[in-house]
Structure 1
């Protein structure tokens, strides 16, 4: 599992300028034939 930090982006709502929230994303790498258990129930 690798994690990356996503920086906030600038957004405009009419005249006002704001930013989106920063996020932390997880990247999961699986070997061939491996499955994630929690995805099967969705």
Structure 2
């Protein structure tokens, strides 16, 4: 995924908030998934 494609689709004013929100949500989900996986491994 390249940032150029995203900035072409979204207006510059909305881009930062949208990207930060999606990254934050994905990061939270990944943390939960990793915690579940690690508890099963142990």
TM range (shorter): under 0.3
- TM-score after normalising by structure 2: 0.19
Q: Which protein shows a greater Rg?
A: 1
- TM-score after normalising by structure 1: 0.19
Higher relative strand content: 1
**Greater RCO, CA 8 A, separation 6+:** 1
